[in-house]
Structure formats: structure tokens, C-alpha cells
């Protein structure tokens, strides 16, 4: 069986110029080869058939691949920021001794002194911070980057025209073409707004990144030419930075500081206050001033009416207090008149077959030696079971007032008998008297040497009379003397002067205490 032979059409075979070797994938062509290829495309060169690569060509390809593998990793061409421009005032500054790590990069914002962290080759964090926090600085950065790229492209064109042909052969053709296109596009768009300028700078960033970061794409023989370019770039950046700093100084002079702003606000406030205090000119503010005057007049009228009402209330209050004191005296005198001829005898013994009146007559005859006392009526007070207790409380009304006074003078004759005599009082008077007795016991507990006596509904402390009011509490005054002034506010201070005891808190508690 004969082997099959595969025939191929000659038109499908690649035909290239003689001496030209197609580059491998991922390998760059030289500038001379590209120019020769362009000549062949136009039909000027001689064509040959399919030529296999020689040993020398294979060796050169292997050497180029080995050299490319030994080179360091090239910088990213499509980075968003330029390190030489971005990490220098007035945009960002690099602190000393912080960027010790290889992966992260730390820089401080010059405007707000905030420290940011990002990648060395990717500065999107820094540009985002400028866009969000400082849009004016970001706009200035874009304009400055555009100016720097344009000047760099012009320098590259000048250096390219003056350089030798041997040095030109090692330049990257794609970079040169991109630079020429970007320079022409940028010169045409110099008069466009800042927003369009920022877009063009984003398109031209790969070229600027390739120029700023000294990549190893070119061969070793083009190193002197690259050093000259880097020196010119450094000189250009320093000059532009000086120009930018001058522009910043001129612009910052027009900005207002916080102190100046506070001074301006204070001046405005003072002017407004002075205008409010002084009459304004005949302008639109006259109507407002008239309204303010009307409001002020109304307020003054209301204030005057309130003052008049307060005066009337004070007068009425003083009259009511005076009338109240008069009523207190009248009630006291009426009670005194009523109880002049009435007595209350407590715990008097009464036999089962004995009448209360005969028991009172017997007591007055035996104990007081007063057999001729005329009794008008005798009434039993209380409801006690006489089978268990033979002592009763009696209300005795005497015909003559002098007999009542004589009985009170001889009340000491009832000592050690369990019988005691009181004057007849109402329930309100009894409660007032009980509160005075509680106050007396407390004062004697604190100081036993004091002379304190309770007479009917009045308290006598060192010759000074006090009485109890249901609303005001302890008051200073003698109800029996109609000419004395009754003072209700200074009772605690008066007690402190007389006894050197602070009874203010005890009086406030006693006022709210209910005695049954």
C-alpha cells in the first residue's frame, strides 16, 4: 500500500522577505525589521520563497528569550497614577521609615494629613481619596499630569531625532508610535475643559507609566540614552513643581482662614446688633422696625398690666392675712369665754348607786375645800362599761367664773390621785394643743434646762408666746393680747435665738403629722 501524500497549495504558504525572521509570541521586534517590513509591504523589496530559520537565527531567538526571562517583571503599563507626580507635594508625601514592606505602600495626604495605604504600582486608593475629599487638588493633579506628559513627549521626539541610528534601532516601535499619537492628540485638546483633559490623561497614562518607572524593555546598549531622558524628566518635574508651588501660594492667598472667617462673622453680628439698637435709615427695614416697635409697645403694656395685677394681689393678700389674724383672735376669745365656766374632770371615781353631780360635789368638798360651789350641769363624756371600770370623764359647767379660776389654782390638790382637770376645748383646739405638747417634749429632750409651758392653745418659751396654725404651722404672737403683731414666718428663727436649737426640720415634719 503506497503512502498518501498531502499536497498543499503554494498560495497558502507564507512568503516573507529574505533575511527577516518572524518574532516569537511574547517577543518584541526591532525597529529596523518593522521598517523593512513596511518597505516589503509596499512592494519595493525582493521576495523569496519559504526560508527555514538558520542555526544563527535560532541561537539569536534562544538568546533573546533567555535574556527576557532573566529580566525583572515589567511594570504595569495601565496603572492609574504616576508615582513621581502623585507621591510628591502638594499631593502626597512619603514618610520616612514606614515603607519597609515590599507589597504595601504608605503615603500621607498633604491637604488633610491622612495616612493612606495601597500598592506601589496601583495607586487607586490615593486617587480615590483625592477625588472624594479634595476635588480641587485632584483637578490640579490631572492638569499637571497632562502638562508633564505633553512636555515628556516633546522631549522624546527631540531626543529621537538627534539620536544615532544605532540607538534608534533598540527603541520600542509601539511605544514611539503611541507617544506620537498621544502628543498630537494632547496638543489638539489643550483648549478643552478640565473634564476632557482628565479623560485624555487616563488614555495617555500607560505611556507616562512606562516613562516614569524605568522598565527593562529596551536592550542594554540603549542605557546611556535612557539616562539622558531620565535626567531631563527629573529637571522638568522639579521646575514644574516649583511653578505649581508658586501657583499654590498665589491661590492660597485668596482663601480665607478660620480666624479671618470668625472675625468677619463677629463683625457682621456686631453690625446687626448695632442696627437693632439704633434707628435704621429710610429703607425697607423701616416697616420691620415699626412692627418691632409695635410689638415692644404691646409687651410694655402687658408688663404694666401684669405689674398692676401683682400690686392688687399683694394688697389683697395682705388684707386677707390681716383679716385672718383678726378672726383668729376672735375665735380665741370666743373659746375662752365659752370655757371660762366649763371644766373637764378625768378619771373621777363614781359608785354604781351614786350620781355624777354628787360625786363632783364630794370631790370639791374633800379635796379642794370648796363646799359652796354651785354647779349648773354635769355630763358624762364617753361610753365605758362601769362593771369593769368605775372611773369616768365628766363635763362640769359652773355658775360663777371665779369658782373655775379657784379650782384651777388648787389643781395641785389632786396630786397622786389619778384625777386631773382641764378646760373645755373644741376638737380643733385640742389638736393644736397636742402638737404644741409634742414640740415641747422634743425641745426638752434636746435641752432639759429650758423653761417651756403650754397654756391652753399657746406655747410659752422664755417669755415669748407661740401658737399653732393649721396652714402655716408654728407662729409667733400672743392671741390674748390684741395689740401684738402676729408673725408666722420667723417662728423657727425666733426659737433658734431663744433656745439655740434648730427646729426647722422638726416643725416641717410636725406640720404634716396628723394627730388623732
What would the pLDDT profile of 145-198 be if each residue is shown by its tens digit?
777 777 777 777 767 655 544 444 444 444 444 554 454 444 444 444 444 444
**Other C-beta atoms lying within 10 Å of the C-beta of residue 335:** 19
What would the pLDDT profile of 94-103 be if each residue is shown by its tens digit?
777 666 555 6
From residue 180, alpha-carbon distances to 118, 160, 167, 177 in Å are: 32, 11, 18, 5
Percent of the chain with pLDDT over 90: 4
| Contact criterion met (CB below 8 Å) for 399 and 412 | no
Fold of the CATH domain 335-423 = Alpha-Beta Plaits (3.30.70)
What would the pLDDT profile of 495-514 be if each residue is shown by its tens digit?
999 999 998 899 988 888 87
What would the pLDDT profile of 404-451 be if each residue is shown by its tens digit?
888 888 888 888 888 888 888 788 888 888 999 999 999 999 998 999
| Contact criterion met (CB below 8 Å) for 324 and 409 | no
| Contact criterion met (CB below 8 Å) for 183 and 154 | yes
DSSP character string of 337-390? HHGGGEEEEEEEE--TT--HHHHHHHHHHHTS--TTPPEEEEEEES---TTT--
pLDDT of residue 224: 46
Q: Packing angle between helix 194-203 and helix 173-188, nearest 10 degrees?
A: 180
Half-sphere exposure of 451 (CA within 13 A, CB side): 4
Beta strands in 235-371 (DSSP E): 342-349
C-alpha cell at 410: 388648787
* For the chain, domain boundaries: 10-70, 83-254, 335-423, 427-511
Q: What is the mean pLDDT of residues 95-123?
A: 72
Q: CA nearest 361: which of 351, 352, 353, 372?
A: 372
Q: What is the mean pLDDT of residues 279-286?
A: 49
Q: CA nearest 17: which of 35, 4, 3?
A: 35
| Contact criterion met (CB below 8 Å) for 127 and 116 | no
pTM: 0.37
**Residue 464 vs residue 228, higher pLDDT:** 464
- pLDDT-derived band at 490, boundaries 50, 70, 90: confident
Amino acid at each position: 500500500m503506497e503512502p498518501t501524500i498531502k499536497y498543499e497549495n503554494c498560495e497558502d504558504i507564507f512568503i516573507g522577505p529574505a533575511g527577516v525572521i518572524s518574532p516569537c509570541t511574547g517577543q518584541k521586534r526591532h525597529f529596523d525589521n518593522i521598517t523593512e517590513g513596511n518597505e516589503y509591504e509596499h512592494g519595493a523589496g525582493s521576495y523569496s520563497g519559504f526560508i527555514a530559520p538558520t542555526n544563527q537565527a535560532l541561537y539569536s531567538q534562544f538568546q533573546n528569550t533567555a535574556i527576557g526571562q532573566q529580566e525583572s517583571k515589567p511594570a504595569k503599563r495601565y496603572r492609574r497614577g504616576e508615582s513621581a507626580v502623585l507621591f510628591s507635594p502638594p499631593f502626597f508625601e512619603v514618610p520616612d521609615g514606614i515603607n519597609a514592606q515590599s507589597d504595601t505602600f504608605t503615603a500621607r495626604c498633604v491637604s488633610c494629613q491622612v495616612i493612606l495605604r495601597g500598592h506601589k504600582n496601583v495607586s487607586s486608593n490615593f486617587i480615590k481619596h483625592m477625588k472624594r475629599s479634595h476635588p480641587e487638588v485632584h483637578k490640579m493633579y490631572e492638569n499637571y499630569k497632562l502638562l508633564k506628559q505633553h512636555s515628556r513627549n516633546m522631549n522624546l521626539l527631540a531626543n529621537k531625532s538627534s539620536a544615532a541610528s544605532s540607538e534608534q534601532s533598540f527603541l520600542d516601535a509601539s511605544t514611539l508610535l503611541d507617544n506620537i499619537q498621544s502628543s498630537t492628540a494632547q496638543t489638539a485638546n489643550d483648549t478643552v475643559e478640565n473634564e476632557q483633559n482628565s479623560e485624555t490623561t487616563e488614555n495617555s497614562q500607560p505611556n507616562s507609566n512606562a516613562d516614569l518607572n524605568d522598565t527593562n524593555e529596551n536592550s542594554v546598549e540603549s542605557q546611556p540614552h535612557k539616562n539622558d531622558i531620565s535626567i531631563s524628566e527629573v529637571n522638568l518635574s522639579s521646575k514644574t513643581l516649583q511653578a505649581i508651588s508658586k501657583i499654590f501660594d498665589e491661590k492660597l492667598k485668596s482663601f480665607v482662614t478660620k480666624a479671618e472667617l470668625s472675625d468677619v462673622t463677629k463683625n457682621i453680628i456686631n453690625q446687626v446688633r448695632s442696627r437693632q439698637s439704633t434707628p435704621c435709615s429710610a429703607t425697607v427695614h423701616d416697616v420691620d422696625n415699626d412692627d418691632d416697635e409695635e410689638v415692644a409697645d404691646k409687651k410694655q403694656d402687658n408688663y404694666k398690666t401684669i405689674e398692676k395685677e401683682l400690686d392688687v394681689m399683694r394688697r389683697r393678700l395682705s388684707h386677707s392675712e390681716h383679716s385672718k389674724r383678726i378672726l383668729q383672735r376672735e375665735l380665741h376669745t370666743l373659746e375662752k369665754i365659752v370655757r371660762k365656766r366649763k371644766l373637764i374632770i378625768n378619771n373621777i371615781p363614781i359608785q354604781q348607786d351614786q350620781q355624777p353631780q354628787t360625786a363632783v360635789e364630794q370631790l370639791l368638798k374633800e379635796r379642794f375645800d370648796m363646799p359652796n360651789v354651785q354647779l349648773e350641769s354635769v355630763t358624762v363624756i364617753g361610753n365605758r362599761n362601769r362593771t369593769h371600770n368605775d372611773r369616768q370623764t365628766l363635763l362640769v359647767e359652773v355658775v360663777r367664773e371665779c369658782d373655775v379660776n379657784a379650782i384651777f389654782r388648787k389643781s395641785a390638790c389632786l396630786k397622786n390621785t389619778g384625777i386631773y382637770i382641764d378646760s373645755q376645748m373644741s376638737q380643733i383646739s385640742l389638736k393644736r394643743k397636742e402638737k404644741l405638747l409634742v414640740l415641747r417634749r422634743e425641745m426638752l429632750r434636746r435641752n432639759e434646762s429650758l423653761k417651756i409651758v403650754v397654756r391652753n392653745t399657746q406655747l410659752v418659751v422664755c417669755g415669748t408666746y407661740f401658737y399653732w396654725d393649721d396652714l402655716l404651722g408654728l407662729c409667733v404672737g400672743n392671741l390674748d393680747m390684741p395689740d401684738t403683731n402676729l408673725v408666722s414666718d420667723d417662728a423657727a428663727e425666733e426659737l433658734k435665738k431663744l433656745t439655740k436649737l434648730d427646729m426647722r426640720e422638726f416643725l416641717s415634719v410636725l406640720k404634716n403629722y396628723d394627730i388623732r
